[in-house]
Structure 1
Amino acid sequence: MVNFEAEITDNPLKNAFRGKATVHTHIPGQSYVGDEAIPVIKNQYRNSRQGTSLAYINIPFCETRCLYCLFYQNPLQPESSLHYTDLLIKELQLWSDLAAQNHEPIHAVYFGGGTPTALEPHDLYRLIKAVRTYLPLANDCEITLEGRIHHFPEEKMEAAFKAGVNRVSLGVQTFNTQVRQTMRRVDDRDSMIRSIEKLASFNQASIVCDLIYGFPYQDMAVWEDDVKTAISLPLDGVDCYQLNVFEKSPLGKFIANGKLPAGADKEERGEMFALSVDLLTKAQWRRLSNNHWCQTFRERNIYNRFGKSAADCLAFGSGAGGKLNGYSFMIERKYDEWSKKIEAGIKPIAFASAPGAYWHALRTISSEMELGRINMRSLSDVYSLPLEKLSQDVFDQWSQAGLITPVGDWMVQTIAGQFWHTTMAQLLVNVLGKRLTQTK
């Protein structure tokens, strides 16, 4: 039996659950490792995609390593930009004749990492153009370049926009110089602000920044200033995320060894989340999901909206992850191994997992929970499954705990429910996965 119950408490924002989930919901299936994974995914590539589709391009280099990051792969070397771009374009060509890559439009492309803006301007330009050549992008495709302000001069901005980037996502995390430098972020507050203003002045793309709450030395006053600073800038969107402190990250080790304070605890983070909701709502920003807000209609947030759903996502580059027809897969993370396979004309897939039972419905449910509301009756009809019936006791209990408010057929999350939505999504998927299997 899966225990889904929240604590009945006077303050569900702080105390609804003992711990907050920090990973995406996972629908397990049979796994394939190494060379056995390649034909499994290639077979899926022979089929055309359906519905909204995505593509993820990974750039596995960083000039510095931030203390909190688990995505760091390789240091940036002088020859990295040219060599990697050459090979990544070859990877884009490898399966370009297969249906999944050359049929049906792709609606959002995300250049992530790592630090995509670490590439040199010419390499960034030709990589983006290659993506536009070898992928069937929709005419309104969202093309996001993730990056940091450090080593992102005007010349590189111009190259990105000229190649077709129409969305820039900046990992600001915090505007506070002390907190930034403690986390080994390079640029100070004033540099961040000037660069955001410069990007916006091109008037070519949606400019978005990520903010994170829960850093060491980031108290409520610092967080309030972070959000208010974002509101004051010519940004089209902002994400507000909770800091995940991973045990194996440098930050986790620093905290464990007493070199840094732990930062805000679970209760304080709940208050920080609620403060950001209050400030952005009062500033008349529009909510796109529990964590994402927009100030203008230029911001669409397509990749993030569908990234955790059942939508297909093609993947390219060392360390990239994708999904196709329910199969999840990872591209080789070790840079040397990835390079060797590309040079040999082999798509370097290192891992794949087949979809578990009811994967499409469960992923859809997980992604819907990110939007702050869910309609189980409608989803029951879509999938011809008793989803509403099997989850009624879950939502009844969460309503009693102050996490959900029923509004007609919709289960609408309270502020506390929005803060705990990842945990709730994980529990809901676990409960339904088990109960659906038992009702076969």
Structure 2
Amino acid sequence: MIHFEAELSDNPLKNAFKGKAAVHPHIPGQTFIGDEAVSVIKNQYGIKRKGTGLAYIHVPFCETRCLYCLFYQNPLRPESSAHYTDHLIKELQLWNDLPAQQITPIHAVYFGGGTPTALEPYDLYRLIKAVRTYLPLANDCEITLEGRIHHFPEEKMEAAFKAGVNRVSLGVQTFNTNVRQTMRRVDDRESMVRAIEKLASFNQASIVCDLIYGFPYQDMAVWEDDVKTAISLPLDGVDCYQLNVFEKSPLGKFIANGKLPAGADKDERAEMFARSVELLTNAQWRRLSNNHWCQTFRERNIYNRFGKSAADCLAFGSGAGGKLNGYSFMIERKYEDWVKKLEAGIKPIAFASAPNDYWHALRTVSSEMELGRINMPHLSDRFALPLDELSRDVFEQWTKAGLINPVGDWMVQTIAGQFWHVTMAQLLINVLGKRLAQQK
């Protein structure tokens, strides 16, 4: 039997579970590495994509490493920009003639990192133009450039907008100068505010920012000020994420060694989450998912919405991850190996994972939980699987625990359920995966 029960208490926001079951919901599958991984994914590239299509472009350079980050790969060097852009364009060209990279539209492209805004203006421009050349972008494709305000002067903004970027995602994390500097973020509060106002003045893109709660020295007053500051700025959207402290990250080591306090505990983070919901709701921001809010209709959040679903995602760049027909894959993370394989004309896929029989249904269940509600009878009909029947006891128990409020066929998450939605999604797909396999 797979455990899924939440604790029954008068405060499910704080007490429903002892901790997060996963950083992101995960569905296991058979792993392939090296040449076999390349062959497996090339076979999937030979199949025409269906439905919503995504593309992820990774830029693996940062001027500094933030203490909490596990995505840091390479320091930024003077020659990095042109050299990387040259090779990334080669990767875009490699399988350009295969069906998965042609014909069916790509509806959202995300330039992530690392720090995409670390590229020089000319390289940023030609990379974006190359993506528009070698990928079949939909005429309303959302093109997101992720970055930091540091190393993002006006000439880079202009180059990005000229090339076609229509969404900018800024890793603000916190506006508090002291907390930012503790986490080794470069710019202070005033620099962040001015830069956001400058970006918005172009009136060329949706401007969104990430906020994180749970940092050392970030108490409730600091968090409230972070959210209120975001509300006051000309932003189109904002994400509110809980800090994940990874054991191997610099922050994890600093906390373990007593160099920094641990930051907000589980109960305090729960209260921070609930307070952000209250502040943004009262400010009349609309909710697009449990963590993402928008102030204007310009913000669509397409990549983040479908990136966690069963949608196909092409991937390019050292350290990028993607998926096709349920097969997930990672591009070679070690920069030198990535370059060598490209120069040899090889798609630099490091490893891949094959899906199980029910991956599409399980991935859809997981992504629907991200939206704060789920309709199991509808999903049962869609996939011709007894998903409603097999999960009924789960939702009944979560309703008793104060995590779910049934509304007709919809299982709607309470504030507590929204806070615990990642844990609930992981437990739900664990239960469904096992019970579906037992019915075979």
Using the size of structure 1 for normalisation, the TM-score is 1.00
Identify the residue that residue 9 of structure 1 maps to in structure 2.
9
Matched, 1:230 2:255: no
- Deviation, 1:26, is 1.6
Superposition pairs of residues 350-361 of structure 1, within 5 angstroms:
350-361=350-361
Structure 2 Cα separation of the partners of residues 26 and 238 of structure 1: 25
Question: One-letter code of the match for 2:369?
Answer: M
CA distance in 2, matches of 1:423, 1:387: 18
Alpha-carbon displacement from aligned partner over 1:174-205 (angstroms, at most 9, x marks no partner): 00000000000000000000000000000000
Once the two structures are overlaid, the 10-residue window that deviates more, 18-27 or 121-130, is 18-27
Task: Name the SS of the counterpart of 1:2 in structure 2.
Answer: coil
Shift of 1:22: 3.8
Give structure 1 stretches of 5+ with no counterpart: none
User: Is 2:414 the counterpart of 1:414?
Assistant: yes
* Cα distance between partner residues in 2 of 1:9 and 1:108: 42
Structure 2 unaligned segments of length 5 or more: list them: none
Instruction: Write out per-residue CA displacement over residues 244-293 of structure 1, whole angstroms, 9 at most, x where no aligned residue.
Output: 00000000000000000000000000000000000000000000000000
Q: Which amino acid aligns with 1:166?
A: N
CA contact (8 A) 1:60 1:74 kept: yes
**Which letter does structure 1 place at the counterpart of 2:358?**
Y
**Displacement after TM superposition at 1:23 (Å):** 2.2
Tell me which amino acid in the other structure corresponds to 2:253.
K
4+ aligned runs moved over 3 Å, structure 1: none
3-state SS of 1:208 partner: strand
Q: Deviations over 1:89-143 (max 9, x none)?
A: 0000000000000120000000000000000000000000000000000000000
Question: Could you say what secondary structure the match of 1:138 adopts?
Answer: strand
Counterpart CA distance in 2 for 1:21 and 1:171 is 25
Superposed CA deviations along residues 341-387 of structure 1, whole A, max 9, x for unmatched, are: 11111100000010012000000000000000000000000000000
Q: Which residue of 2 aligns with 1:101?
A: 101
Whole-angstrom CA distance in 2 between matches of 1:215 and 1:57: 28
**Residues 281-328 of structure 1 deviation map (CA, whole Å, 9 limit, x = unaligned):** 000000000000000000000000000100000000000000000100
**1:382-421 Cα deviation digits (max 9, x unpaired):** 0000000000000000000000000000000000000000
- Which amino acid is the alignment partner of residue 272 of structure 2? M
Match of 1:274 in 2: 274
Provide the TM-score with structure 2 as the length reference. 1.00
1:329 correspondence with 2:335: no
Secondary structure of the corresponding residue to residue 169 of structure 1: strand
Q: Does 1:369 align with 2:369?
A: yes
Say yes or no: does 1:284 pair with 2:284.
yes
CA distance in 2, matches of 1:23, 1:353: 19
SS in 2 for 1:272: helix
Aligned-partner Cα distance in 1 for 2:310–2:120: 34
Question: Which residue of 2 is the match for residue 122 of structure 1?
Answer: 122
Output the CA distance in 2 between the equivalents of 1:368 and 1:316.
Answer: 27
Match of 1:157 in 2: 157
Partner SS state of residue 146, structure 1: strand
Partner of 1:423: 423
Shift in Å, 1:30: 1.4
Q: Distance in 2 between matches of 1:264 and 1:388?
A: 37
**Alpha-carbon distance between aligned partners in 2 of 1:26 and 1:5, rounded to the nearest angstrom:** 19
After TM superposition, list the pairs within 5 Å mapping 1:64-75 onto structure 2: 64-75=64-75
What CA distance in whole angstroms lies between the structure 1 residues aligned with 2:55 and 2:404?
A: 34
SS of the aligned residue for 2:278 comes to helix
Write the mapping of 1:202-241 to structure 2, written as runs, cut at 5 A.
202-241=202-241
Which SS does the other structure have where 1:385 is aligned? coil
Q: Is the 8 A contact 1:82 1:123 kept in 2?
A: yes
1:125-178 deviation line (CA, Å, top 9, x unaligned): 000000000000000000000000001000000000000000000000000000
Separation of aligned partners in 1, 2:391 and 2:58: 37
> Which letter does structure 1 place at the counterpart of 2:106?
I
**Equivalent residues of 1:51, 1:311 under 8 A apart:** yes
The number of residues matched between the two structures is 440
Contact 1:89 1:127 in 2 (8 A): yes
Letter in 2 for 1:327: Y
In the alignment, structure 1 residue 37 sits paired with structure 2 residue 37: yes
Structure 2 CA distance for aligned equivalents of residues 357 and 44 of structure 1: 16
Contact 1:22 1:244 in 2 (8 A): no
Q: CA deviation at 1:24?
A: 1.9
Aligned 1:229-268 pairs, distance under 5 A? 229-268=229-268
